[in-house]
């Protein structure tokens, strides 16, 4: 089962994502509504995938923020949640995200993208 950590400032969006992940048979092992909590909790939750809202990243240094997250949990894939598709999408990928998902997508499309990322987690996960 893929272990997921959710980081989004909006409780209703975290709740919707949590329900979607449970439907996909993925385990939500932690949640945060701010960047500091995310950095503190991620290492102790042994996650496979991090879903992080772009809005939580420190605006002036998103790449350094994602580097800090990767240092805290190097084996996890980082998926950035973006409210609007624009230049921010490229910025998210350039800043070190493995993938991005638009919050404007339909739930079916979000589920499809999450399944695809989860499949790559299983491919890179060490045996044993």
pLDDT value at residue 12: 93
Give the sheet arrangement for strand 77-82, strand by strand: 27-32, 3-7, 49-53, 77-82, 99-102
Determine, yes or no, domain membership for 119: no
Structural domains counted in the chain: 1
Please check the confidence at residue 113 and state whether its pLDDT lies above 80: yes
Q: Residue 59 falls within a domain, yes or no? A: yes
The pLDDT value recorded for residue 9 is: 92
- Quickly state the pLDDT bin for 94 (edges 50, 70, 90): low
2-12 CB burial, b ≥16 within 10 A, e <16: bbbbbbbeeee
Q: Which domain holds residue 34?
A: 3-114
The answer to whether residue 79 sits within a structural domain is yes
| pLDDT attached to residue 128 | 42
In whole angstroms, give the CA distance from residue 33 to residue 82.
15
Q: Give residue 18's pLDDT.
A: 94
- Note the pTM of the prediction, 2 decimals: 0.82
């Amino acid at each position: 089962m893929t272990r997921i950590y959710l980081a989004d400032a909006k409780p209703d969006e975290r709740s919707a994502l949590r329900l979607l992940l449970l439907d996909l048979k993925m385990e939500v092992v932690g949640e945060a509504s701010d960047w500091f909590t995310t950095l503190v909790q991620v290492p102790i939750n042994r996650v496979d995938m991090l879903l992080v809202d772009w809005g939580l990243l420190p605006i002036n240094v998103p790449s350094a923020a994602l580097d800090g997250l990767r240092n805290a949990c190097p084996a996890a894939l980082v998926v950035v949640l973006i409210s609007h598709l624009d230049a921010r999408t490229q910025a998210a990928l350039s800043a070190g995200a493995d993938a991005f998902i638009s919050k404007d997508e339909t739930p079916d499309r979000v589920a499809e993208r999450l399944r695809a990322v989860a499949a790559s987690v299983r491919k890179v996960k060490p045996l044993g």
